[in-house]
């Protein structure tokens, strides 16, 4: 697995998104753990989760706990695995998503994530989504405090615009290491954030890079150039999509969600797929 950097840490250039293993339509735990172990076997060293990846109100942190069990039960060395989790987004259990970006909540959420993950410091902790009721600087100030307290090793933000990226970088004193935004062939509006991260040397982690749980399998039929390039290379359109993202900038680390070993194993092969400038141009124009 080729590597890219988050802060001063090298991680595999393709990560694993854990969300599909814990929300609607989730598989049984055995298959989820097999998926995580397959990813580790393939060289994945970045696993993305959040305390809000669960279904019911009484199972907050379901995905964090699942990942902790999978890592504990893995037969190999996991010391180089970076688990990235998030706080500030909530699921009351009725299918809705709410926000709480208050410093009090973020610090309590971090403490709870620490316990579920069973670590002394969270590898990467990201503010999940801006809360319009809380000044952004107060939310980011909580991340700064968590860094200073040694409860988190790295700090990042998610669903942020360029002004928020710059503001977070200032508040964190240059310690902002990642931005996790939606980006896919169907969702190009985070291109400005991607380019800013490339200039600032901050990792850009596209979420739902293949279009989301329900649409990832149809990527080739929805965007013909991805299917055409895939046919020429005898690979899947999903591999082409991830390779296209990797070619955008050295800071891009896609985190495709997966709940089956075969899908994450297909995704990681994108690191070895070399696309021509002409192919990249066709894919850029496909949105």
Beta-bridge partners for 83: 47
48 three-class SS: strand
CA-based angle 167:173:174, to the nearest 5?
Answer: 85
Q: What is the DSSP string of 239-260?
A: HHHHHHHHTT-TTB----B-SS
Distance, in Å, from the CA atom of 48 to the CA atom of 257, rounded to the nearest integer, reads 9
- Active-site residue, from 53, 125, 136, 154: 53
Closest by CA to 68, choosing from 12, 116, 121, is 116
Closest by CA to 206, choosing from 186, 176, 229, 222, is 186
53 is catalytic: yes
Strands 176-182 vs 98-99: parallel, antiparallel or unpaired = unpaired
59: DSSP letter: G
Distance, in Å, from the CA atom of 143 to the CA atom of 155, rounded to the nearest integer, reads 6
17 three-class SS: strand
Closest by CA to 152, choosing from 64, 83, 89, is 83
Distance, in Å, from the CA atom of 180 to the CA atom of 127, rounded to the nearest integer, reads 9
Which residues are designated catalytic? 53
């Amino acid at each position: 697995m080729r590597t890219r950097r988050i802060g001063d840490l090298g991680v595999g250039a393709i990560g694993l998104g854990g969300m599909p293993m814990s929300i609607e339509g989730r598989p049984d735990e055995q298959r989820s753990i097999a998926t995580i172990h397959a990813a580790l076997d393939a060289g994945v060293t970045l696993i993305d989760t959040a305390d809000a990846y669960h279904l019911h109100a009484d199972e907050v942190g379901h995905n964090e706990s699942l990942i902790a069990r999978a890592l504990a039960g893995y037969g190999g060395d996991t010391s180089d695995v970076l688990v990235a989790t998030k706080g500030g987004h909530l699921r009351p259990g009725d299918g809705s998503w709410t926000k709480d970006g208050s410093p009090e909540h973020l610090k309590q959420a971090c403490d709870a994530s620490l316990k579920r993950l069973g670590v002394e410091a969270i590898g990467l902790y990201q503010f999940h989504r801006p809360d319009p009721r809380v000044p952004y600087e107060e939310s980011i100030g909580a991340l700064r405090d968590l860094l200073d307290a040694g409860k988190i090793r790295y700090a990042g933000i998610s669903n942020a615009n360029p002004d928020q990226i710059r503001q977070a970088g200032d508040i964190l004193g240059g310690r902002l290491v990642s931005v996790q935004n939606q980006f896919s062939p169907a969702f190009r509006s985070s291109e400005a954030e991607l380019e800013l991260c490339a200039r600032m040397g901050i990792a850009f982690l596209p979420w739902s890079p293949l279009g989301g749980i329900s649409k990832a399998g149809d990527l080739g039929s929805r965007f013909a150039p991805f299917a055409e390039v895939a046919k020429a290379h005898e690979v899947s359109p999903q591999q082409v999509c991830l390779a296209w993202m990797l070619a955008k900038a050295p800071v891009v680390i896609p985190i495709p969600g997966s709940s089956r070993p075969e899908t994450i194993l297909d995704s990681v092969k994108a690191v070895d797929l070399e696309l021509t400038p002409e192919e990249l141009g066709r894919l850029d124009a496909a949105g």
